[in-house]
Structure 1
Amino acid sequence: MANADNIIRTEYSEIMQKSYIDYAMSVIVSRALPDVRDGLKPVQRRTLYDMYELGIRYDRPYRKCARIVGDTMGKYHPHGDSSIYDALVVMAQEFKKGQALVDGHGNFGSIEGDGAAAMRYTEARLEKITQEVYLNDLDKDVVDFVSNFDETEKEPEVLPVRVPNLLLNGADGIAVGMATSIPPHNLNEVVDGVIAYMKNNEITNEELMQYIQGPDFPTGGIVVNKDELLSIYEKGTGKIKLRGKVEIEKGKAGRNLLVITEIPYTMIGANIGKFLNDVAGLVESKKTTDIVDISNQSSKEGIRIVLELKKGTDIENLTNMLYKKTRLEDTFGVNMLAVANGKPETLSLKQIIEHHVDFQFEVTTRKYNTLLSKEKEKQEIQEGLIKACDVIDLIIEILRGSKNREQVKNCLVNGATEGIRFRTKTSEKQAKKLGFTEKQATAILDMRLYKLIGLEIEALTKEHEETLKKIAQYEDILNHYHSMAAVIIKELKAVKKAYGKPRKTQIENAKEAVYEEKKIEEAEVVFLMDRFGYAKTVDQSVYERNKETIHQENRHIFHCMNTDKICVFTDTGCLHTIKVLDLPYGKMRDKGVPIDNVSNFDSKKEQLVYVESLNQIKQSRMLFATAFGMVKLVEGSEFEVSKRTTTATKLAEGDKVVLVQPADEMEYVVLQTKEGYFLRFMKTEVPLKKKAALGVRGITLGAKDEVEHAYLLENRTDYTADYKGKSVSLNRLKLAKRDGKGTKTRV
């Protein structure tokens, strides 16, 4: 039984708040956001380090990805194999990264959105640049190593990346309450920008952009808002406008081909298929009649989407239409968020380079401290061996007169001669003056006899001179900013020379894409919709030839203009509008399209009450009647709206619309309830209201009764209604006042 003294009482909201903040920070720092120093997320860093540890180098055979993923998950990243494999795949996809870090062998997906093969089928190894620029010098204590999740292994806190990878490869990730989206850049330009900053720390973002022109996407394309880039790089946020690259080629029969050779970076994946569908949609909806054929001829050599055009096509106007209506022009949202000094921060271009250069100086300092320490150790041993060569006879005498190694070592270090037999007192006196260090004494004892050859002694002297030069060089690098800066700049230039590539993305200021939409030739068509909700339009001549069949097969039939809209009123009080041009037009036997597909109408949640063209509705006053007995008239012009869905009438909770109908030619309203009450009254008693109004009560209902049907009648026409098998003549019903109880029909 728990002791009451051990129960800690606390506010539940405080616990929840603290726990959520801890969780959010864990996701931000440990999973979703890259570190500004190496530009890598933890999963990427751990995967690359694991490959390095497994010895999967660029000049060695490929290894199964399943092995890499399993090893990484078991040692460093216990968050599931899919996240590790996804990261590995992306680092191998040249169309996603400015610089691929993994050399993939097998199916690693395609630019068109095909996924990679399962990890048991694919193989990988490190790219040369990854090994030489990202993972080099890990053995020189250049970064801190931390314990892994179960404290059985050590992993680097950050990789000693020589270039600002955050800019080179960009980053994207969604954390809790924040996200990062950094575009990739050109290696040559980034290196030049870093060197420029190192030569002048006061450099501005604008001056940096003389070296780093802007993003360089692996898919190429054109950045068209050059003037806005400075603001984006200063604030760390903004939108880059991207366009695909379009070329004109000559086709067969004198037709021109509009060929897309480069796509916006945002189009990679499933959006290529969407682009093709969007172009097909423009053709089907008659937005353009200039495109004869569409084909995707893309291959490993690159993107090639071909649009075959009609003769005489205004190519510039069509291209602008594609920019406006499809993802051939798109925006890339920039949010340069990264973990800096242990916390998430939105950074400018200069701040990213500042953090990188600070990190480079830290790495280089640690590297040369390690190298200096090793050279000084070598210096100590070399000086001991040179000194030993000068007194080699004495050392041999000590060795021959000693009983064990420790006795010799003690004599060499401390000059202790007790227990050692010397040939002469002079030798003993000289031995007492010896003062080698521990390391020198060990080296002397480990020295082989051939080292006493004259050439070997000469080589030792030269080696000592080299060591002294290196020590002087390393101390100069460590003690002088400019010397260290020169070393870093030299390494950067070597990276640029070895791995630099020409820029792929053009950067310019382009005019807003403006196109003239061809005016549609206005024509009268016939709207048809069957009982299953499939709608289409046909030509009047088709309607006249098949009038009898059409009326048998369709529930809603009316004439309208092809430039008009169709209004769909539902029992939920909504109005959905459909452009007539969005409906298939043509043959009598065409099935049509469900109205759910071309509007926001949901056949599973609402019932269709009335369908008519907007032009007809605008010319009428519409009568609304609801299940709760509410009635009103609304001017049809109120339903001329730009939204695809709007409120047609206000309803009380639980109420629904039972009738929507033009009322101009009608004189009487009849309301019929479930319990069999009929009430006929003059239409003039129904007030004109706004569509947002509830209306007025048309009939007084019993406790559980509700209006089932409503009718509008002309004076001289006979109307009958069926109630439980009995025919009721609506015109002969007693004329009463609105809001009466009505007459009960006996069955």
Structure 2
Amino acid sequence: MQEKNDQIIRTDYAEIMQKSYIDYAMSVIIARALPDVRDGLKPVQRRTLYDMYELGIRYDRPYRKCARIVGDTMGKYHPHGDSSIYEALVVMAQEFKKGQTLVDGHGNFGSIEGDGAAAMRYTEARLQKLTQEVYLADLDKNVVDFIPNFDETEKEPEVLPVKIPNLLVNGADGIAVGMATSIPPHNLGEVIDGVKAYMKNNDITTKGLMRYIKGPDFPTGGIVVNQDELRKIYETGSGKIRLRGKVEIEKAKGGRLHLVITEIPYTMIGANIGKFLNDVATLVESKKTTDILDISNQSSKEGIRIVLELRRDTDVDNLVNMLYKKTRLEDTFGVNMLAVADGRPETLSLKQVVEHHVEFQFEIANRKYRTLLDKELEKKEVQEGLMKAVDVIDLIIEILRGSKNQQQVKKCLTTGETEGIRFKSKASQKAAAQLRFTERQATAILEMRLYRLIGLEMEALLKEHEATLEHIAKYEDLLNNYDSMAQAIMNELDAVKKEFGRKRRTALENAQEAVFEEKKIEEMEVWFLMDRFGYVKTIDRQTYERNKENACSESKYLFSCMNTDRICIFTDAGRMHAVKVLDIPLVKFRDKGVPVDNLSNYNSQEEQILYVAGMEELKHSQLLFATQKAMLKQVSGQEFDVTKRTIMATKLTEGDKVIFVAPSDAMEYVVLQSTQGYFLRFLKQEVPEKKKGAIGVRGMRLGEQDQLEHAYLLEGHTEYTIEYKEKKLTLNRLRLAKRDTKGTKSRA
């Protein structure tokens, strides 16, 4: 029952949907798909690494089962399913995907050729030394804020205190709602040099930064071939990088050459290696090249090695250019440097990424050294209290012996309150009243052990005090002096570069666009044959002449065409599938051929072939279409002269299908036959010419439950007889009527 104070708030449904969708989109963008510009990590990566840190799975300790890591991460920090966590863990361990791996994997973590990792119950992992020392160090020094986890039972870092621009070093990719990020990996040493250059000169330009950060450095190597375009990409945060694989020529036995691919474009990793091999095989099968005798993938853990065995007289440069043009040996990497900056998604330039990183470094360094300074000041306070206490140790002992409890002693040490304490003399009581230790000092004095009164221990305390004063001076200098802090950050970066830096793998150059001369196809006449099972083949003219009778009796479709032509296949689904004649095997007459399904998008399980013709012949003719619902139209063959493999040949209404397609140029009459036995003959000129995207006009008025079964095209003076219900029916003798009438019911 509704209370009197309750009010119904009327809201536009569109507004609710808009707000809800925006909330959902921002949740995906911020909390899942995009990395934070500060640590370059997505939430799932950050939480997985932090969980490993919390579990103590360090680089110098034994590996732990991935299932344990995934389960703990999901239970504490990332309640979005185990597969996403394990996938993130696997990627962070794959050397061929990351500029610097963050996880040390033990077991099967997949391969560069697209093999998946073993199940998480089999694999093990631990943190890399880099991750522990550069990504997770100083978490105990209040360098970043901790926030509640999803159920507020744990705390997790809002961001990791990463000391290098991980967004550049490891790159990032992710698809959010309405936006996506794609950042290439870079060389660790170069990025560190770029950061240092910015810290020395905040006004440095992108061009200036690129003297240090020269361009992407992919773990798979390869060659960036549009070096001059990188500056614009780094200035705008988006663009396209052209990548090529690295190719070497080796001499084999017998004077033959081997073309060896030793590095691949970054975009080829995974299933695209297999696609590349298939593309090369297709080039050979389609006779685009006859220079390749064999292809083998000899890749191993040592690296990529794809070998193409070539003919002796091969024009290698032309073949390599063909591979660049026709396969993924040259590919494009789309750059979109989108990341979460200041809580919102933003496309960043190279300089902006470095700016955000340096700002973050100063923030965590200030918090770190502020925390360390506070600890040293506490130590200084305690040390000074202990040194002062040694000088009056006899008095302190007298206070201790004359007091009733610890609170009475503490009060005396901090405020000089002597009431209730028994002293040996008035002088001692007067001296005790002068004591003014701090609370922290009083606690330290009460906890002090007697052995600290030994002379050597006192010397150690004095030395410790001197070291503390040095630390305080150092930390205060760092916190109050920008140059000192900057130098400290740069020193840390130098140490990281020295220990973890490596040579550049990806070459940068400006290469000309791949141009190759395609071998001209020798044009010749062939005969196309398709049997009733949908197997197709071509034979040369001489073979056809020798087997003419058998070819006619065994083939459902048979006609001559040029080998440069295309075959057009019309189906009852209203589609036209095109097949290049060169893709159809040229064989001996008794060879079976191949199913047309294998050469086109035609699916024999879903559609039926109604008409087949060569494109060149079709361009000069006109086709009549008839559908089950008696819709008719004529279409010029020019409409079908397109390069696409599949197009809609006619538009169909729901539940309709094509029953007849045939050339209508030399014909004069159309005869329609319905399933209930109605026949209608009318002049072909009553069927208008339409575009292929049109439905057409009604050819016959059909009764309920009736539909068109057959259509016929008749010449003017040639009799055409069919067998209908075991009787012969001459179609030319049917009464001539008008289109869109009911027709005459056959008495047969």
TM-score normalized with structure 1 length: 0.94
Inter-partner Cα distance in structure 2 for 1:401 and 1:438: 20
Inter-partner Cα distance in structure 2 for 1:636 and 1:341: 60
Inter-partner Cα distance in structure 2 for 1:362 and 1:372: 15
Which residue is 1:427 aligned to? 428
Query: Among the aligned pairs, what percent are the same residue?
Result: 74
Amino acid at match of 1:9: I
Inter-partner Cα distance in structure 1 for 2:719 and 2:726: 18
Residues 59-208 of structure 1 mapped to structure 2, 5 A cutoff: 59-208=60-209
Inter-partner Cα distance in structure 1 for 2:684 and 2:150: 79
User: After the TM superposition, which of the residue ranges 436-445 and 352-361 deviates more from structure 2?
Assistant: 436-445
Inter-partner Cα distance in structure 2 for 1:697 and 1:157: 68
In structure 2, relative to structure 1, the CA distance for the partners of 1:666 and 1:506 (3 Å cut) is same
8 A contact 2:587–2:593 mirrored in 1? no
Amino acid at match of 1:185: H
* Partner deviation per Cα, 1:595-618 (whole Å, 9 max, x = no partner): 344334344554322101112223
User: After the TM superposition, which of the residue ranges 444-453 and 644-653 deviates more from structure 2?
Assistant: 644-653
Amino acid at match of 1:326: T
SS of corresponding position for 1:109: coil
SS of corresponding position for 2:116: coil
In structure 2, relative to structure 1, the CA distance for the partners of 1:450 and 1:652 (3 Å cut) is closer
In structure 2, relative to structure 1, the CA distance for the partners of 1:683 and 1:328 (3 Å cut) is same
Which residue is 1:493 aligned to? 494
Deviation at 1:718, TM superposition (A): 4.8
Deviation at 1:464, TM superposition (A): 1.0
In structure 2, relative to structure 1, the CA distance for the partners of 1:640 and 1:78 (3 Å cut) is closer
SS of corresponding position for 1:586: coil
Which residue is 1:725 aligned to? 726
In structure 2, relative to structure 1, the CA distance for the partners of 1:394 and 1:637 (3 Å cut) is closer
User: After the TM superposition, which of the residue ranges 559-568 and 540-549 deviates more from structure 2?
Assistant: 540-549
Deviation at 1:534, TM superposition (A): 2.8
Inter-partner Cα distance in structure 2 for 1:693 and 1:406: 99
- Structure 2 residue 540 is matched with structure 1 residue 539: yes
In structure 2, relative to structure 1, the CA distance for the partners of 1:470 and 1:253 (3 Å cut) is same
* Partner deviation per Cα, 1:689-712 (whole Å, 9 max, x = no partner): 665666676666666655432333
User: After the TM superposition, which of the residue ranges 679-688 and 456-465 deviates more from structure 2?
Assistant: 679-688
Inter-partner Cα distance in structure 2 for 1:35 and 1:698: 65
* Partner deviation per Cα, 1:189-218 (whole Å, 9 max, x = no partner): 110111111111111112111111111111
Inter-partner Cα distance in structure 1 for 2:82 and 2:694: 58
Deviation at 1:263, TM superposition (A): 0.8
User: After the TM superposition, which of the residue ranges 703-712 and 355-364 deviates more from structure 2?
Assistant: 703-712
Deviation at 1:293, TM superposition (A): 0.4
Which residue is 2:354 aligned to? 353
Amino acid at match of 1:375: E
Deviation at 1:715, TM superposition (A): 5.9
Residues 472-483 of structure 1 mapped to structure 2, 5 A cutoff: 472-483=473-484
Residues 316-335 of structure 1 mapped to structure 2, 5 A cutoff: 316-335=317-336
Which residue is 2:383 aligned to? 382
Amino acid at match of 1:275: F
In structure 2, relative to structure 1, the CA distance for the partners of 1:423 and 1:590 (3 Å cut) is farther
Inter-partner Cα distance in structure 1 for 2:736 and 2:392: 138
Inter-partner Cα distance in structure 1 for 2:590 and 2:741: 49
Residues 122-521 of structure 1 mapped to structure 2, 5 A cutoff: 122-521=123-522
Deviation at 1:591, TM superposition (A): 4.4
Deviation at 1:86, TM superposition (A): 0.8
In structure 2, relative to structure 1, the CA distance for the partners of 1:531 and 1:10 (3 Å cut) is farther
Deviation at 1:623, TM superposition (A): 4.0
Deviation at 1:5, TM superposition (A): 5.1
Deviation at 1:149, TM superposition (A): 1.3
Which residue is 1:58 aligned to? 59
In structure 2, relative to structure 1, the CA distance for the partners of 1:667 and 1:151 (3 Å cut) is closer
Deviation at 1:686, TM superposition (A): 6.1
Deviation at 1:223, TM superposition (A): 1.1
Which residue is 2:8 aligned to? 8
Residues 695-710 of structure 1 mapped to structure 2, 5 A cutoff: 705-710=706-711
In structure 2, relative to structure 1, the CA distance for the partners of 1:527 and 1:453 (3 Å cut) is same
Deviation at 1:566, TM superposition (A): 0.6
Deviation at 1:636, TM superposition (A): 3.5
Q: Unpaired runs of 5+ in structure 1?
A: none
Amino acid at match of 2:98: K
Inter-partner Cα distance in structure 2 for 1:622 and 1:603: 23
User: After the TM superposition, which of the residue ranges 101-110 and 72-81 deviates more from structure 2?
Assistant: 72-81
Which residue is 1:620 aligned to? 621
Amino acid at match of 1:495: V
Deviation at 1:449, TM superposition (A): 2.4
8 A contact 2:624–2:664 mirrored in 1? yes
Amino acid at match of 2:494: K
* Partner deviation per Cα, 1:245-289 (whole Å, 9 max, x = no partner): 111111232111111111111111111111111111111111111
Inter-partner Cα distance in structure 1 for 2:447 and 2:633: 110
Inter-partner Cα distance in structure 1 for 2:591 and 2:105: 49
Inter-partner Cα distance in structure 1 for 2:742 and 2:586: 48
Inter-partner Cα distance in structure 2 for 1:111 and 1:442: 61
8 A contact 1:676–1:723 mirrored in 2? no
Amino acid at match of 2:566: K
Inter-partner Cα distance in structure 2 for 1:601 and 1:4: 67
Deviation at 1:325, TM superposition (A): 1.2
8 A contact 1:173–1:180 mirrored in 2? yes
SS of corresponding position for 1:585: coil
Amino acid at match of 1:99: Q
8 A contact 1:183–1:215 mirrored in 2? yes
In structure 2, relative to structure 1, the CA distance for the partners of 1:468 and 1:63 (3 Å cut) is same
Inter-partner Cα distance in structure 1 for 2:374 and 2:478: 14
SS of corresponding position for 1:132: helix
8 A contact 1:609–1:658 mirrored in 2? yes
Deviation at 1:517, TM superposition (A): 1.2
SS of corresponding position for 1:92: coil
Inter-partner Cα distance in structure 2 for 1:662 and 1:686: 13
* Partner deviation per Cα, 1:277-321 (whole Å, 9 max, x = no partner): 111111111111111101000000000111111121111111111
Inter-partner Cα distance in structure 2 for 1:402 and 1:653: 102
8 A contact 1:564–1:579 mirrored in 2? yes
User: After the TM superposition, which of the residue ranges 731-740 and 663-672 deviates more from structure 2?
Assistant: 731-740
Inter-partner Cα distance in structure 1 for 2:305 and 2:84: 32
Inter-partner Cα distance in structure 1 for 2:334 and 2:208: 23
SS of corresponding position for 2:92: helix
Inter-partner Cα distance in structure 1 for 2:22 and 2:669: 66
Amino acid at match of 2:645: R
Deviation at 1:733, TM superposition (A): 4.5
Inter-partner Cα distance in structure 2 for 1:633 and 1:600: 25
Inter-partner Cα distance in structure 2 for 1:436 and 1:631: 107
In structure 2, relative to structure 1, the CA distance for the partners of 1:449 and 1:595 (3 Å cut) is same
In structure 2, relative to structure 1, the CA distance for the partners of 1:668 and 1:429 (3 Å cut) is closer
Amino acid at match of 1:8: I
Inter-partner Cα distance in structure 2 for 1:418 and 1:699: 122
SS of corresponding position for 2:382: helix
* Partner deviation per Cα, 1:614-649 (whole Å, 9 max, x = no partner): 122234344444555565555434432223334545
